[in-house]
Amino acid sequence: MKSLIRHMLMALTVICVGFTSSANGADILISLILPKANSHTKSISAMAGALTRHGHNVTILTASNVGTKGFKGNTYNTALQYKFIPSAEMDETQERVRNGAFENSPLNNVINMKKIFQLLRQACRYLFEDSATLALLKESHFDILIGDVFDGCDAVLSSYLEIPHIAVTTSMRYPFFHEHLYGIPAPSSYVPLGVFSLSDKMTFLERVVSFMEHNLVIPLAGWSHLGAMDEMKNRYGIAPGRSVQELIGDAELWLCVTNFAFDFPHPIAPNWVAIGNIADVPAKPLDEEYEDFVEGSREHGFIIFSLGNNHSIMPSHMTEIFARVFSELPQRVIWRYTGPRPRFLGNNTKLVEWMPQNDLLGHQKARLMVYHGGLTGIFEAINHGVPMVVMPLLGDQEANAVKVKAKGMGRLLPKDSITYETVKEAITDVLENPRYSENIRKSSRIYRDMQSDPDDVAVYWVEHILKFGGSHLRSRALELNFIQLHSIDVLAFIVGIVLVVVFLLFSCCKRCVSRCLKTKKSKME
């Protein structure tokens, strides 16, 4: 009975919004199918809000255990949730990932990532088993789907609904959505895909690693996950004869939340658009509690220390090391931490369960951010010109930390080398060496120097695709097989012609020489 009422209310909401939507606005479905996506929601919500403010009718699709968490109420017209049933396995996997973030075990990292993508495929199955929600989505006749293309489920949904889709990456790229999948050149010699800790300036051995990343590691991972997604897609009779990889590559446009003040230069195509950090907001004045604390730091300023939502508790030995280092600094420290009070905690350090990170970074006395390397916080630090010490824990954080180091905006602090000496040296170096502040201030100026606001860029390109589609922007690379794409057949043809010409010349020369010798011999007789 409750399920029936729920679906009736959902249907009524869709109908009501259909009557009240703008006459000129498009009906847009924005999908965030991930069952837990705190770091993704902020950018997707900002994009939904920009489209809503421009008169479009935006429906967001999320998992029922997430709901509208992270979405502001004025950023969408309708919210739909597919039925997702959290399991003990999901809680166990999340706990394993959380606990393993501070370990230096590549095998555990691989196992954890495999389990995460198994859960994502399970979430996708839940979506396609929710017949009532699928029926509502079909009946709504959306003009386009905008999806956070993390695992490919949104591309399958787009095919099921028979509507075009736009891919959004809230990081530079995802494990299963990258240049090769989209037909954009990405030479392994200077375009790291982010699996390994590589910059765009590589030694010979690093280029070997990058080559393996492009041609072995990423394809193998894609074969494992996307192969399983193919089985699920076929079970529901969606796009028979086509692979999920092909469906993902059908995206009309790739909207990438990045900025070249941070990203490495690399080849792009017309249907790849860097929109910047669409979630940027101005820093607000601090409340009295924080303002009094930071103003008390006088000319020394203060340090922000945060490891994100999921890692506010560290192993005890790390906790004590950071507490001891902070206690010896002249700066004050605001530390997002929820564990037991450290023994070496100094009077200059304030422990908080949550902090207004962007507002703190925007304060004139902010001197340094010690951080885990999530992209949103790095963009905030660049925007406000605050140098960083980055201790990456998992996911894309390692690649982000490498970019911070390569751009001279801060230091990389490997989690497997945390000692009192390494922490003290990294923090002191960034605080006292002016080159870090100079580099990040320059990056901040580049970051802010944009032709258009990210909101306007995203809206323009979505509306452009709504008007004209994206075929005129697409490279033909995906229509060619490996041999055609790399002109192997052309080279073989040219080499063949050269060999035939050489053979003919050799044969002619040989025959001429032979005749000349015969003529000479006959004259001598």
CB 348 within 8 A of CB 282: no
Q: Choose among 440, 503, 102, 109: nearest CA to 261.
A: 440
Q: Which amino acid is at 241?
A: G
Tokens for 269? 């195509």
Q: How confident is the model at residue 37 (pLDDT cuts 50, 70, 90)?
A: low
Mean predicted confidence (pLDDT) in 138-147: 94
Average pLDDT, rounded, for the chain: 88
Region class of 222: left (phi > 0), else alpha (psi between -120 and 50), else beta: alpha
Each residue of 313-324: pLDDT tens digit?
A: 888 899 999 999
| Beta-carbon contacts of residue 278 (< 8 Å; ≥ 6 apart) | 43, 46, 47, 50, 257, 454, 455, 458
Taking the C-alpha atoms of residue 402 and residue 194, their distance in angstroms, rounded to an integer, is 9
Mean predicted confidence (pLDDT) in 244-252: 92
Is 455 in a helix, a strand, or coil? helix
Taking the C-alpha atoms of residue 108 and residue 279, their distance in angstroms, rounded to an integer, is 32
Tokens for 371? 């951080």
Cβ count near 167 (within 10 Å): 29
CB 58 within 8 A of CB 75: yes
Tokens for 109? 């990292």
Mean predicted confidence (pLDDT) in 344-367: 94
Q: How confident is the model at residue 146 (pLDDT cuts 50, 70, 90)?
A: very high
Taking the C-alpha atoms of residue 398 and residue 171, their distance in angstroms, rounded to an integer, is 12
- pLDDT at residue 324 in the model: 95
Q: Is the pLDDT of residue 184 over 70?
A: yes
Q: How confident is the model at residue 197 (pLDDT cuts 50, 70, 90)?
A: confident
- pLDDT at residue 312 in the model: 77
**The three-state (H, E, C) secondary structure of 56-81, written as one string:** CEEEEEEECCCCCCCCCHHHCCEEEE
Each residue of 419-435: pLDDT tens digit?
A: 999 999 999 999 999 99
Q: Is the pLDDT of residue 356 over 80?
A: yes
444, containing H or E segment: helix 434-448
- pLDDT at residue 305 in the model: 96
- pLDDT at residue 6 in the model: 52
Mean predicted confidence (pLDDT) in 16-43: 72
DSSP 183: T
Q: Is the pLDDT of residue 133 over 50?
A: yes
Q: Is the pLDDT of residue 13 over 60?
A: no
